[in-house]
A and B are shown apart, each in its own frame.
Chain A
Amino acid sequence: MALFKSRLQEFLRKHKNNVSDSGASKIHQAPIYAIVASVFIIFSGIAYISCSIINSSVQDLESAKLTQLHKIGQDYIDMALQKSLARASIIAEMPAVVDLFGARKRDQLYDELKDLYKDQKNKYGSGAAQFIIPPAISFLRLHKPEAYGDDISFRPMILEALADQAPIKGISISRDGPYLYGVAPVKDAKGKFLGVFEMSQSFDMLATSLKNAYGIESAVFFDEELLEKNATQINREVFSDKNRFGIFVKLTSTNWDLISNLIEPSSINSSKPIEPFTKDFEGNHYGVVVIPLLNPAGTHLGQLVLFNDLNINQAVAKKLCVLVWMFSLFGAVLISGVFLVVVKGGILKPLAKLSENMDLLATGQKPDPIDLHDYQGPVQSIARSYQELADKHQSDN
């Protein structure tokens, strides 16, 4: 123990010698450390604010991107509806169709249109196509000619088209499932209303188009209860457990493995507009947009969920923040260095040493000799004056 104590005392004495040689004992360290700490705090603050601004800008960018995603989704729905209506209008105005439909010749009408419909279905993703007569009776289903004569008054869009005798478009759940429909009135040459013809586009085609054009992943969900009630002839596989998602069932998707990991039933289960949100999965950052699917009467039928990869923004933001912090560290360290070396090393320490020597001189003790080369600038003139004073004091003694 005694050995340890003596060693410690020796170390402290040596250490004291080392630092006191430069006169540091006379300097008030607190203000210097306060300034250095202030420099670090200021640079940290600058870095923090810069990173906050970068992150905020990235969020704004993401928000703009998600708004754009929403717009693209909505535009594609409108475009699909417009296509359906255009096709329905063309067919509804074909003279042969008008004649055969007016004469209620079902078989001839089917023969007239079956090849055309097959092409539309196989090449362009057209869905259900149907002639309807008032009050709301299916006259001919081109996609299923054997099923006709049933009442379809459960579809508000058809009732509206029949009542207004005007073109209409919108999402609707028919016996065969949900489609994007265009309904065109069929009138003979004299303008007599014969009924309506509807043509549709499948949601598969919508999702595929979005994926091919923009690389947007999507999933289409419909209310299970509405689907079960109205789409009596839909493929029952839609209602399988793997497709069930809260109150919805998944009708189609482009990448279910990914999508099922990004959303939960609760995140899309709302009849009110859902704000776009972001989600991270397997180290990737995705933006999610939910577009409500409404029929023309405004009834909420389901959701179109769109996903976009936002990784690039995040990566850039992260890189920028790291660089900002690194340069701030450089700034703080270098400015502190300049301050410490110039102010403390060039001014304060030499002054402290001179002050110490002056004290010794004043108390009549012999001060250490100084080397004028160690004193720079204005301190050098003080040192020179001290040297003269010390020399004079020595010669007087």
Chain B
Amino acid sequence: MKIHSFFKVALSVGFCLLSSFSQAETESLTSIPRDLGLPVVVNTSINFLEVKSINENEGNFDAIVDTRLIWVDHRLAYNKALAPRGFIDYRDDEATKRLSEIWRPFAYYKNRIGDPISEVKDLRIYPDGTVNYLRRIEAKFASDFDLTSFPYDQQQLAVHLISRTEPSNRVVFVYTDKDLSFSNSSKTSKIDGWDVGNVSLERSVEEGLRGTKYPELTASLKITRQPFGATSTIIVPLFCCLLIPLLVVWLNTLNSEEHEGFGMSNTEIACFPMTGIFAVVALQFTVNGSYSSLGQSDNLVMRLFALNYVMLGFSFFVSVLLYRFYVLKRLFGRFVQDEFFVYLCWAAPALCFGVAWAIIAIA
């Protein structure tokens, strides 16, 4: 009985020792690898597999994104003979389990909104200790859209990857030409209303507390808007609206026998600016309904709207001061009024369309 108890105690102690040894080994593998020095260099690439939708008004986009992280941890090196394929592969749950047993860079998607819709993981460990972790997620990402040049604009759909558990003196995201090639390996073929460009990668750091810096890598997919739709529905109507205030000068005539030198009276002319205001307000209402973010920033469309309002204001002034109160005639006589009217007929459109051209050219 005593012998039996002795063996039982010895066995328990043995198990405890084994378990603590095994735990210590696991803990050591989850600590940051230092054999190549710090910071640990993580080769990073992000590939946009598919962009499902772009929501400019909400400032986000839905995409399927592959993220590849490669680092070296010599503690994971093993005999080549154990991996006939050249690596040991883990998928999904297996990969999650294996990743929990080893050190890995905790890379978060800084601009991801909510949980991913789907997620696939693939982990490969090579005999020399190189770890290749590929993660595919479908998720919604927040994105800033710069609409200054709308609808002749280019946008960057960005995915920001950041390590907030390890600062930049311990982990650094880098990329090489190979990583750039991977990021552009399977180009998103088509996004409705957009032409798709290349993916570019950029390193940066996020400032933390007490001077801590967290490494960040941004992958940006360049997209160019196909301008025809917005040009025909917004820009062309805006240019047409610019013509309405000009009718105030174009439709009137000089006639010394009627209306103090003008062919038409103020009451007949004043309806044009009124109509113009309704037209422009209606157009702006429609544009803001479709592109709400446009109304909240300084951009080409808003500048053209502003020009429309300025021209409507101008037409009101012409209608009231020139046609109603005959200010120029009263101050300087009929000849000056006549000449000023003739001058307005070509100067007003020249300046108006000159400014409109400049607005578009600058954008």
Contact = CB atoms under 8 A, between A and B. Distances in A.
B347 A336 contact: yes
B256 A21 contact: yes
Nearest to A212: B203
B340 A345 contact: yes
12 contacts: A18-B255, A22-B334, A23-B335, A122-B37, A208-B174, A253-B177, A282-B198, A282-B222, A329-B351, A330-B351, A340-B343, A374-B333
Contacts of A346: 332, 335-336, 339
Contact of A325 (B181, B335, B358): B358
A353 B335 contact: yes
B335 A257 contact: no
B305 to A, nearest CB: 18
Interface string B224-260: 1000000000000000000000000000011110000
A384 B347 CA distance: 33
B208 interface: no
Interface in A282-338: 282-283, 318-319, 322-323, 325-326, 329-330, 333, 336-337
B339 A329 contact: no
B339 A349 contact: yes
Interface string B103-137: 00000000000000000000000000000000000
Interface of A: 18-19, 21-23, 119, 122-123, 204, 208, 212, 252-258, 282-283, 318-319, 322-323, 325-326, 329-330, 333, 336-337, 340-342, 344-346, 349-350, 353, 371, 373-376
Contacts of A319: 362
B81 interface: no
Given A255-B180, A341-B340, A350-B335, A329 B350 contact: yes
Nearest to B154: A283
Contacts of B198: 257-258, 282
Contacts of A326: 354-355, 357-358
Of A22, A333, A342, A345, chain B has the most CB atoms within 10 Å of the CB of A345
B333 A373 contact: yes
A43 to B, nearest CB: 12
Contacts of B358: 322-323, 325-326
B109 to A, nearest CB: 23
A187 to B, nearest CB: 32
Interface of B: 36-37, 154, 174, 176-177, 180-181, 184, 197-198, 203, 222, 224, 253-256, 263, 332-340, 342-343, 347, 350-351, 354-355, 357-358, 361-362
B154 A22 contact: no
Nearest to A322: B361
A322 B362 contact: yes
The 7 closest A-B pairs by CB, nearest first: A345-B339, A374-B333, A21-B256, A326-B358, A345-B336, A349-B335, A322-B361
Contacts of A337: 340, 343, 347
Contacts of A208: 174, 176
Nearest to A346: B336
A253 B160 CA distance: 24
Given A18-B254, A19-B254, A333 B181 contact: no
Contact of A333 (B203, B336, B351, B361): B351
B254 A22 contact: yes
Contacts of A255: 177, 180
A329 B253 contact: no
Contacts of A283: 154, 224
Contacts of A323: 358, 362
B181 A22 contact: no
Nearest to B335: A349
Contacts of A256: 177, 180-181
B36 A22 contact: no
A27 to B, nearest CB: 11
B36 A122 contact: yes
A76 B213 CA distance: 27
A254 B176 contact: yes
A67 B361 CA distance: 31
A254 B203 CA distance: 14
B203 A375 contact: no
Nearest to A332: B350
Contacts of B253: 18
Contacts of A204: 176
A1 B203 CA distance: 78
